[in-house]
Amino acid sequence: MAARIKMLVDATTYDNWQAFIHAYVVPHLGDGELQKLTAPMLVKFYTQLLADGRIKPDNNIRMYEYWAKATKRGQQPTPREITDACAVTIHAARTAVRRYKAGRIPTPKPAGLEPKTVRNIHLAIHRALVDAVAWKYLVDNAKPPRVAKSRRPVWTPEQATRFMDSICFDRFYALFRLELTTGLRRAEICGIRWPSLDLDAGTLSVHQGRVVVSGRAQDAQVKTEDSERLIALDEETVDALRVWQAIQDAELALYGDDFRDTDLVFTYEDGRPVHPDSIRERFKRLAADAGLPEIRFDDLRHTYVTRALRAGINPKVVSQRIGHADVAFTMSVYQHVLPGQDEDAAARAAAYMLGRRRTPETASNP
């Protein structure tokens, strides 16, 4: 069954589902018989995960508590000391110290899993049960739990501008500008190759990406067929990419045969492809250094969509640019960013149909 599922989904999804199965499903349901698995059992399982299912330690809180206690004693713990005391990577410790010194105090994570995580666990179970029903091991499947919608934080235009101004000398300035002006997925922006860019025409063909599977980055096709698209780029982003291309060409000349020529747009000095996780961590560090509100790299995509819609860009155009299957899905996620549209539609439709008319005064009773 695992081999069949592996053929049907992309590598990242399979890797995530496999992790969910081993971490949550097997410890709770693994001892039971498949034929005795019922919908109420799954509901109880999901309820437990939502209540106290978190198994990963809250390393951010552990690091902050260690740092805060040492600071209170008049000490300044080094990232290496935090690494040894909290069993985290040196990179995580360094990033954490920057946040704490900037006054960004972490909030403890709840004991339960996020609703979206529980739904993803169900999707892994559901996919397995689909085959179980098809192969006559079961007669029915279970419906997924409802997921409460949450709104991801986004930056204001002023905050986005402040970020870009603060990183004007960063190696990946062009990458972050491209992200904020297109809303590409992280895998998509890390997988862009030069043949997909037409800087003279100012266009980018999105059809390939770099995903992370078991911690290793690898090439992959884009998420869905709808994700394949041709999008236009603004002049300043094109200029930034031209500057970046010149830098990369100079590095190619410097390294010669030692340069790993992969045609990838965003690379390190010797041509090594950027790792999507490294870009995520780099963004967190740069945003913290700029003193900006903490958001994820993926929230830059949400920032682009939110600001594009509020700028009055047609929702269908925005949906096509970010690779959504249809505009209905885009609006179901981002409807909240366009308040007042219903009132405006009512006023404009009435004015068009009937024109501007004076409301007759109510006659007084004799």
pLDDT digits (tens, 9 = 90+) for 143-179: 656 656 667 889 999 999 999 999 999 999 999 999 9
The single-letter code of the amino acid at 40 is P
Residue 197: enclosing H or E segment and its boundaries? strand 197-198
Quick check: pTM over 0.85? Answer: no
Residue pair 209/188 in contact by the 8 Å Cβ criterion: yes
Q: Taking the alpha carbons of 236, 237, 238, 241 in that order, is the dihedral positive or negative? A: positive
| Close Cβ partners of 33 (under 8 Å, ≥ 6 residues apart) | none
**Paired strand residues for 209:** 220
Task: Give the Cβ contact number of residue 238 at 10 Å.
Answer: 21
DSSP 264: B
Q: Taking the alpha carbons of 333, 334, 335, 336 in that order, is the dihedral positive or negative? A: positive
Distance from C-alpha of 92 to C-alpha of 257, rounded to nearest angstrom: 34
Residue pair 279/306 in contact by the 8 Å Cβ criterion: no
pLDDT digits (tens, 9 = 90+) for 93-113: 998 998 898 888 898 989 999
Distance from C-alpha of 29 to C-alpha of 131, rounded to nearest angstrom: 18
pLDDT value, residue 139: 63
Distance from C-alpha of 218 to C-alpha of 347, rounded to nearest angstrom: 52
Distance from C-alpha of 214 to C-alpha of 14, rounded to nearest angstrom: 10
Of residues 350 and 186, more confidently modeled: 186
pLDDT digits (tens, 9 = 90+) for 34-91: 888 888 888 899 999 999 999 988 999 999 999 999 999 999 999 999 999 999 999 8
Residue 333: enclosing H or E segment and its boundaries? helix 327-334
Residue bearing tokens 């985290």: 88
Residue bearing tokens 């402040």: 162
| Close Cβ partners of 218 (under 8 Å, ≥ 6 residues apart) | 11, 210, 211, 212
